[in-house]
Amino acid sequence: MHQNNNSSIEADMKVEINKKRLEYLLALYKMSVDDLLSLLNKGRKRITGAADISGDSIDLGVLKRIGEIFDKEVSFFQDYSKLSTNASSSIFFRKTSFGTELNLESIRTVNRFESLKNALDAYNKLSQLDVKFDIEHYTLQDDPKTVAVRARDFFYPGETVNHRQFLVKMIEKIADHGIFVFEYIETWNKKEKTNIDGFYLKPNVIVLKHHKHYKREIFTLAHELGHCLLGIEEVESVDMMDISAQTSYSDVERWCNDFAYQFIMGQEAETLANIACVDSRNDYCIDLFKAISARTHISRLALYTRMYIDRKISYSSYSNVKSELAEEYRRREEQEKLKNSEKRGGRTPKPIISPLFLKTMQYAYFNGVVNETTFCSRLNVKPANFERELWR
pTM (2 decimals)?
0.91
End-to-end CA, the chain: 49
More confident residue, 156 or 339: 156
pLDDT band at 247 (very low <50, low <70, confident <90, very high): low
pLDDT at 4 over 70: no
Which pLDDT score is estimated for 8? 52
**Is the backbone of residue 387 left (phi > 0), alpha (psi -120 to 50) or beta?**
alpha
Cβ neighbours around 340 below 10 Å, total:
10
Which pLDDT score is estimated for 10? 56
Report the chain's mean pLDDT, rounded to a whole number.
92
SS3 of residue 334 by DSSP:
helix
Using only C-alpha atoms, the chain has a radius of gyration, in whole angstroms, of: 24
> Where does the chain show beta strands of DSSP type E?
14-16, 57-59, 180-184, 198-201, 205-209, 234-236
pLDDT band at 343 (very low <50, low <70, confident <90, very high): low
Please tell me whether the peptide bond between 203 and the residue prior to it is cis, using omega within 30 degrees of 0.
yes
Please tell me the least confidently modeled range out of 22-26, 117-121, 200-204, 243-247: 243-247
Express each pLDDT in 366-389 by its tens digit. 999 999 999 999 999 999 999 999
pLDDT at 1 over 50: no
Which pLDDT score is estimated for 122? 97
Please tell me the least confidently modeled range out of 182-186, 338-342, 346-350: 338-342
Express each pLDDT in 287-299 by its tens digit. 999 999 999 999 9
Which pLDDT score is estimated for 159? 85
How far is residue 86's CA from residue 383's CA, in Å, rounded to a whole number? 38
Which pLDDT score is estimated for 86? 94
Please tell me the least confidently modeled range out of 248-252, 349-353, 361-365: 248-252
Express each pLDDT in 77-93 by its tens digit. 999 999 999 999 999 99
Nearest to residue 360, comparing CAs of 133, 122, 146, 174? 122
Domain ranges in the chain are 12-82, 102-264, 273-331, 350-389
Which pLDDT score is estimated for 313? 95
Which pLDDT score is estimated for 99? 86
Q: Residues 310-337: what's their mean pLDDT?
A: 90
Q: Is 200 exposed, middle or buried (0-12, 13-18, 19+ CB in 10 A)?
A: buried
Write the CB contacts of 325 (distance below 8 Å, at least 6 apart in sequence).
300, 301, 304
Write the CB contacts of 248 (distance below 8 Å, at least 6 apart in sequence).
none
Which pLDDT score is estimated for 392? 86
Express each pLDDT in 32-46 by its tens digit. 999 999 999 999 988
More confident residue, 161 or 3: 161
